[in-house]
Amino acid sequence: MKPVLSSLFLFSLLFPLAASAQLEPPMHSFLRADANTDGAVDISDAAYTFSWLFLGADMPNCLDSADANDDGVINITDGIYTLAFLFTGGDPIPAPGITRCDLDPTDDQLHCVSYLPCRCGGITGGTCAKGQLCDRATGLCQGADIPGECVEVPEECPAINDPVCGCDGVTYRNDCERRRAGAMKASDGPCDGGCGGIRGIPCRDGEFCDHPVGQCDVLDAIGECEQIMRGCPDVWDPVCGCDGVTYSNDCERINARVQKDHDGACGPKRCGGIVGLLCDEGEYCDMPSDTCNAADMLGECVMVAENCPEIWDPVCGCDGRTYSSDCERIRAGVAKAGDGECGAVRNCGGFAGLLCEEGQYCDMPEDSCNFADMLGECVVVVEACPEIWDPVCGCDGVTYSNDCDRIRSRVPKAHDGACE
């Protein structure tokens, strides 16, 4: 008899009975070492393993549960491991253990067709232990009597992008995050197939969230996940990216992870805007004419010349200065208020915070005391004022003898006449 057992032992070591590779084996929660799937780990489980291996008993419904030592194969050592744990103080049973149901944390070829002791919900209304979730199969969002399986609710999740859609309509970064939230799974991938948006729905690793064409300044646009390719075709079908770069085709743009502004090559490179696009060194972000007080306008990158021609083709800058030509204005790094010379009155203040020259004061329009971004006019501050009584009320609540005294004090005017 001993030679027979020895031969069986050697056979089981040399040719372990692991689950044959199957297409997408089912995943079910289970208790480790419960080979006969009766919900308890005892000597009968070791006996069942030996009977299956050597006496022709039925294959366990859950091979994962019969893999007592979690080495990815089932052989005589699993029965011995269970007996050692039960009777001789052997090593503990690997995760998920013998008291709480969960999925197999080990990536192996074993599978679990079914494991009834870990079933929950359904008509029988079985419950899970504290800290576990009764998780249904993917897509089974509706129905109060649908059975599920008890799985652990993780305390922390890995920072990986493998989005899934919950039955609550929320896209979770990965399946672990969904289980933490206690939501059932509707499908793999983002909900509605979208990405981005106000919630910042992510794509999987190796994908890019591509927004609709032309939405360069829409930070919360809903896009679609596009695969990043290893290589792109060598074709010329130019598209313009939101970074102002012309890409040879859409594949090259997606691989660069850049949104699309429009089909065809880019014109002048765009800059500024809500996202604050920058120009290259030696360029200036020139805003459209007469947009001096617009803080988030899109401009165009223009080259800054080292020298300008000596011509008189005046333009008025947003700083209130008259430049001899547009070239001189761009060299000074000033946006254009309009063609021609600036008027006699020079603007100041506003969103751009335009400054007056030394010896001048930026006087705001009357009754604009509480407006921080108003445009004013530069006025000269005189050294002495006439001794006349023509009272005006300043925004500081003080009555000044005349407007000249108020300007010398650099205080905006609330209204004509004495303060109340």
* DSSP class per residue in 23-82: SS-----B-TT-TT-SS--SHHHHHHHHHHHHS-PPPPSBHHHH-TT-SSS-SHHHHHHH
Give the total residue count for the chain. Answer: 420
The pLDDT value given to residue 219: 76
Q: CA-CA distances (angstroms) from residue 218 to 192, 196, 264, 287, 348? A: 20, 11, 21, 19, 31
Gap between the terminal Cα atoms of the chain = 118
Asked whether the beta carbons of 17 and 11 are under 8 A apart, the reply is no
- Quote the CA–CA distance of 18 and 12 in Å, as a whole number: 10
Q: Which two tokens stand for residue 189?
A: 């991938």
Asked whether the beta carbons of 236 and 212 are under 8 A apart, the reply is no
Q: Among candidates 152, 147, 122, which has minimal Cα distance to 136?
A: 147
The pLDDT value given to residue 384: 76
- Quote the CA–CA distance of 414 and 322 in Å, as a whole number: 31
- DSSP 8-state secondary structure symbol assigned to residue 112: B
Residue owning tokens 């599978």: 111
The share of the chain scoring above pLDDT 90, in percent, equals 28
- Quote the CA–CA distance of 191 and 168 in Å, as a whole number: 10
Q: Among candidates 215, 219, 232, 226, which has minimal Cα distance to 190?
A: 226
- What confidence category does residue 414 fall into, taking pLDDT thresholds of 50, 70 and 90? very high
The yes-or-no verdict on residue 307 having pLDDT over 50 is yes
- Whole-model pTM: value is 0.37
Q: Among candidates 261, 255, 183, 196, which has minimal Cα distance to 225?
A: 196
Coil vs helix vs strand at 174 = coil
Q: Which two tokens stand for residue 273?
A: 């805007």
The yes-or-no verdict on residue 3 having pLDDT over 70 is no
The yes-or-no verdict on residue 25 having pLDDT over 90 is no
The pLDDT value given to residue 320: 78
Q: Which two tokens stand for residue 80?
A: 């011995």
- Residue 39 contacts by C-beta under 8 Å, 6 or more apart in sequence? 31, 116, 117
The yes-or-no verdict on residue 36 having pLDDT over 90 is yes
Q: Among candidates 78, 18, 19, 27, which has minimal Cα distance to 48?
A: 78
- Quote the CA–CA distance of 350 and 361 in Å, as a whole number: 14
Q: Which two tokens stand for residue 269?
A: 């490179």
The yes-or-no verdict on residue 16 having pLDDT over 50 is no
Quote the mean pLDDT of the chain. Answer: 83
Query: Prior bond to 117 cis, omega within 30?
Result: no
- DSSP 8-state secondary structure symbol assigned to residue 345: S
The yes-or-no verdict on residue 254 having pLDDT over 60 is yes
Which of the pair, 71 or 151, is modelled with greater confidence? 71
- Quote the CA–CA distance of 399 and 219 in Å, as a whole number: 49
CATH architecture of 283-344: 2-Layer Sandwich (3.30)
Which of the pair, 23 or 339, is modelled with greater confidence? 339
The pLDDT value given to residue 272: 84
Residue 60 backbone dihedrals phi, psi, to 5 degrees: -60, 145
**Fold match, 283-344 / 360-416:** yes
The yes-or-no verdict on residue 314 having pLDDT over 80 is yes
The yes-or-no verdict on residue 113 having pLDDT over 90 is no
Residue owning tokens 């199969």: 137
Q: Which two tokens stand for residue 107?
A: 């990536």
The yes-or-no verdict on residue 177 having pLDDT over 50 is yes
- Quote the CA–CA distance of 301 and 274 in Å, as a whole number: 16
The CATH number of 360-416 is: 3.30.60.30
Per domain, the residue ranges of the chain are 2-127, 283-344, 360-416
Lowest-confidence segment of 250-254, 349-353, 364-368, 393-397 by average pLDDT: 349-353
Over residues 222-247, the mean pLDDT reads 87
**Amino acid at position 226, single letter:** E
Tens of pLDDT, residue by residue over 77-98, are: 999 999 999 999 999 999 999 8
The pLDDT value given to residue 46: 95
